[in-house]
Amino acid sequence: MYLDAIGKKLEDFDASFVYWDSNELKRRTCMSWNSIQDNFFHDKDFPKAKIGGKWYYPAKEVEAFLRKWILERVN
Return the pLDDT at 5.
73
* pLDDT tens-digit series, residues 2-59: 777 766 666 655 556 789 999 999 999 999 999 999 999 999 999 999 999 999 999 9
Task: Give the Cα separation of 66 and 9 in Å (integer).
Answer: 23
Mean pLDDT of all residues in 59-73: 94
The answer to whether the beta carbons of residues 57 and 20 sit under 8 Å apart is: yes
Task: Give the Cα separation of 1 and 62 in Å (integer).
Answer: 32
Return the pLDDT at 70.
94
Return the pLDDT at 37.
97
Q: In whole angstroms, how large is the CA radius of gyration of the chain?
A: 14
